[in-house]
């Protein structure tokens, strides 16, 4: 069984540790723990690991957040992975910092990366792991907030939440979305 796990973010050093890049950060941590270094491929940085008989492909689109769908569609087709074996890791303003929530479908909730994926894949029926980044910003400052770095206390807590996200990724790949949601959703 093959799975495609896509972490959303923006390429470039200036975005590296921003809230909007939590998808990249989760996959970086997962790859580091499993000693699976990323290499550059078409439209993405990618790596692969094996877990309990599953072949798990991790990709970080380098198309920038708002055009993530192109890279994801390409790799789904290239690797011949069905859409039900796709999981998107994405930041979510509507969830408190560190809250993790898996969904098998749903709206983009205004997230431009998810909007593009919906457009390219032709619908909202794909799994996404929403990683809460909080919403401590003043009116009209949403863009500045998502493109800002985590606060020191948040940064200190991130590894614990990223490890839980990794557990959820492996659960998704081994026991499926429904059981993962029942076990992990807060």
Tell me which residues are annotated as active site.
20
Query: Under DSSP, is residue 15 helix (H, G, I), strand (E, B) or coil?
Result: helix
Alpha-carbon gap, residue 16 to 18, rounded angstroms:
6
Return contacts of 22-27, CB within 8 angstroms, 24+ apart.
22/89, 22/90, 22/91, 22/131, 22/133, 23/60, 23/88, 23/89, 23/90, 23/91, 23/131, 24/60, 25/158, 25/162, 26/89, 26/131, 26/162, 26/165, 26/166, 26/169, 27/58, 27/59, 27/60, 27/89
Residues 6+ apart with CB under 8 A from 182: none
């Amino acid at each position: 069984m093959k799975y495609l796990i896509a972490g959303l973010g923006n390429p470039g050093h200036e975005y590296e540790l921003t809230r909007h890049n939590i998808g990249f950060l989760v996959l970086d941590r997962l790859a580091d723990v499993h000693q699976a270094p990323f290499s550059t491929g078409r439209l993405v940085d990618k790596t692969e690991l094996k877990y309990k008989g599953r072949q798990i492909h991790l990709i970080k689109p380098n198309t920038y957040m708002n055009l993530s769908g192109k890279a994801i569609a390409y790799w789904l087709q290239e690797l011949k992975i069905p859409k039900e074996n796709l999981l998107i890791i994405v930041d979510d303003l509507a969830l408190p910092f560190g809250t993790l929530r898996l969904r098998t479908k749903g709206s983009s909730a205004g997230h431009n990366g998810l909007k593009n994926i919906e457009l390219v894949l032709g619908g909202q029926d794909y799994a996404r792991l929403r990683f809460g980044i909080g919403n401590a910003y003043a009116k009209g400052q949403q863009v500045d907030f998502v493109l800002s770095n985590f606060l020191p206390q948040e940064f200190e807590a991130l590894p614990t939440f990223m490890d839980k996200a990794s557990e959820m990724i492996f659960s998704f790949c081994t026991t499926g979305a429904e059981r993962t949601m029942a076990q992990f959703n807060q």
